[in-house]
Amino acid sequence: MADASDKIPPELAKQLRTLAHDLSNALETIVQATYLISQAGPPEKMRHWVELIDQATKDTVKINQKLRQMLRDRS
């Protein structure tokens, strides 16, 4: 747990939580669209790009989860 000097001001924390939530929603759309594209059996030369999008999205979801945890810990 962070001490008082590490706390994020409440209004800033609220804005950051809203942005993190909105980012989660946008990422969920990309996750679902990538899944549907992969299930549709894209041509071989497109599969690599779908895999790159999928991995980058998973990485971004993890980053966003860490951000949200930091916000919980410091607000």
36-70 residue pLDDT tens: 999 999 999 999 999 999 999 999 999 999 999 99
Confidence of residue 6 (pLDDT cuts 50, 70, 90): confident
Report residue 66 as tokens: 């860490």
Structural tokens at position 12: 């800033």
pLDDT on residue 1: 53
Enter the tokens of residue 19: 């942005």
- Compute CA distances 15 → 7, 19, 26, 56, whole Å: 14, 6, 17, 25
Distance CA(2)–CA(26), nearest Å, equals 29
Q: At what angle do helices 10-39 and 44-73 cross, to 10 degrees?
A: 160
